[in-house]
């Protein structure tokens, strides 16, 4: 079975072709990706209307390139998948409209995919894919969540951010330091030459006894320290503050992830989403999990950002699991706000502590 997937939830246009078989995992045949970072950099962040227009301009050439790269034709496609949400409404509508129209033209079913489920399952395309069950640390854009994953579509929320997510903490702190867009990678690069011990920054909720996150207070502390540095701070002082900021975020993510492993009794951790590409986070998670005899799995670096491959993969895995059949209906809709999973009991979260 061939699944053609489209991703257009924010500022990356992604198209990919994934093949499934009866006796093996889904296989990525070809993918194409266009990033809008250069276009949005002039504005210091994503401009939704510009993002939507750029998706319209890029998606069809990318789709043609992917089909050519794979050596397949549209007539061979069995299912057309697209990101249904969450994301920017206008951007989502581009992918949804194209997938629905293509499905109608080919008389093939379409399948709307949850963007976060795409990230969650993306490590299954890596050279070292995980096995169920596992704990997932999902750190993508405005989302920071810990989940227990027992199978495709079988997710239990363990903890989540109550304000800013880790990605937002990186980006907003970078802006406070006068760094370029996108802020997270810029802050991580600057942190490489800094001393994280030069500044004392808070680790919100680190000892709360829950698996929830909070990074708004850290952002405020970074702002306070940045103001103390004045209008023309020394480059080394900026690097030190960047390193201290990164260290605070990473420590919280690592210790909460380990606490989730303890709380669930599992020994396998999957990290997915854009922040999962952070080198410091990977190094510290690898070391901490090794000490506890746990395995860590990541997507390939190219699959950490938004991409079509994760959407086609998630659709393929849902089809294989019998959770979806796709739809031949001609109407389309999107879900700009769409939780992947709700807490089992309102306000109740898994609790554990890690020294």
Residue 211 lies in a domain: yes
Residue 18 lies in a domain: yes
Q: What integer pLDDT is reported at residue 345 of this predicted model?
A: 42
Instruction: Mark whether 92 and 165 lie in a shared domain.
Output: no
Instruction: Mark whether 23 and 114 lie in a shared domain.
Output: yes
Q: Is it the case that residue 353 has pLDDT exceeding 60? A: no
Residue 343 lies in a domain: no
Cβ atoms of residues 334 and 99 within 8 Å: no
Q: Is it the case that residue 350 has pLDDT exceeding 90? A: no
Instruction: Mark whether 29 and 88 lie in a shared domain.
Output: yes
Q: Is it the case that residue 141 has pLDDT exceeding 50? A: yes
- Tell me the average pLDDT across 75-99: 97
CA–CA gap between residue 189 and residue 200 (Å, rounded): 20
* Domain of 100, in residue numbers: 2-121+303-320
Instruction: Please write the tens of the pLDDT for every residue from 201-255.
Output: 999 999 999 999 999 999 999 999 999 999 889 999 999 999 999 999 999 999 9
Cis omega (within 30 of 0) for bond into 184: no
Instruction: Mark whether 136 and 276 lie in a shared domain.
Output: yes
Look up residue 76 and give its two tokens: 């061979």
Instruction: Mark whether 153 and 217 lie in a shared domain.
Output: yes
Q: Is it the case that residue 351 has pLDDT exceeding 70? A: no
- Tell me the average pLDDT across 51-80: 98
Instruction: Mark whether 93 and 37 lie in a shared domain.
Output: yes
Q: What pLDDT band is residue 29 in, cutting at 50, 70 and 90?
A: very high
Instruction: Mark whether 285 and 310 lie in a shared domain.
Output: no
Say which CATH number the domain at 185 has.
Answer: 3.30.420.40
Q: Count the domains in the chain.
A: 2
Q: What integer pLDDT is reported at residue 51 of this predicted model?
A: 98
Q: What is the mean pLDDT of the chain?
A: 94
Residue length of the chain: 355
Q: What integer pLDDT is reported at residue 355 of this predicted model?
A: 44
DSSP one-letter code for 338: -
Q: Is it the case that residue 344 has pLDDT exceeding 70? A: no
Q: Is it the case that residue 352 has pLDDT exceeding 70? A: no
Q: What integer pLDDT is reported at residue 3 of this predicted model?
A: 98
Cβ atoms of residues 136 and 123 within 8 Å: no
Residue 346 lies in a domain: no
Instruction: Mark whether 30 and 50 lie in a shared domain.
Output: yes
Q: What integer pLDDT is reported at residue 23 of this predicted model?
A: 80
Q: Is it the case that residue 199 has pLDDT exceeding 60? A: yes
| Sheet containing 134-140: order of strands | 154-160, 143-151, 134-140, 268-272, 295-297
CA–CA gap between residue 320 and residue 297 (Å, rounded): 22
How do 79-85 and 110-114 pair as beta strands?
parallel
Instruction: Mark whether 246 and 286 lie in a shared domain.
Output: yes
């Amino acid at each position: 079975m061939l699944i053609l997937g489209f991703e257009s939830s924010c500022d990356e246009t992604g198209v990919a072709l994934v093949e499934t078989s009866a006796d093996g995992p889904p296989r990525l045949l070809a993918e194409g990706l266009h990033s809008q970072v250069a276009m949005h950099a002039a504005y210091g962040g994503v401009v939704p209307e510009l993002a939507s227009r750029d998706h319209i301009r890029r998606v069809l050439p990318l789709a043609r390139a992917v089909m050519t790269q794979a050596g397949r034709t549209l007539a061979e496609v069995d299912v057309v998948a697209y990101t249904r949400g969450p994301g920017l409404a206008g951007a989502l509508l581009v992918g949804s409209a194209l997938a629905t129209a293509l499905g109608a033209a080919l008389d093939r079913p379409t399948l709307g995919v949850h963007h976060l489920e795409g990230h969650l399952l993306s490590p299954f395309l890596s050279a070292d894919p995980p096995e169920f069950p596992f704990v997932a640390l999902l750190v993508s854009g405005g989302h920071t969540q810990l989940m227990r994953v027992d199978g495709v579509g079988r997710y239990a929320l363990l903890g989540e951010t109550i304000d800013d997510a880790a990605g937002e903490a990186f980006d907003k702190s970078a802006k406070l330091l006068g760094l370029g867009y996108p802020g997270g990678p810029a802050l991580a690069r600057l942190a490489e030459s800094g001393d994280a011990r030069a500044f004392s920054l808070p680790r919100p909720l680190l000892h709360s006894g829950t698996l929830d996150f909070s990074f708004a207070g850290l952002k405020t502390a970074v702002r306070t320290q940045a103001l103390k540095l004045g209008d023309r701070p020394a480059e080394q002082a900026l690097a030190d503050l960047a390193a201290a900021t990164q260290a605070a975020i990473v420590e919280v993510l690592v210790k909460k992830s380990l606490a989730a492993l303890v709380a669930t009794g599992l020994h396998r951790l999957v990290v997915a989403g854009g922040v999962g590409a952070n080198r410091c986070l990977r190094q510290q998670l690898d070391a901490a999990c090794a000490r506890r005899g746990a395995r860590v799995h990541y997507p390939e670096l190219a699959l950490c950002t938004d991409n079509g491959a994760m959407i086609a993969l998630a659709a393929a895995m849902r089809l294989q699991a019998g959770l979806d059949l796709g739809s031949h209906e001609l109407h389309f809709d999107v879900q700009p706000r769409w939780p992947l999973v709700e807490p089992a009991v309102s306000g109740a979260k898994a609790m554990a502590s890690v020294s």
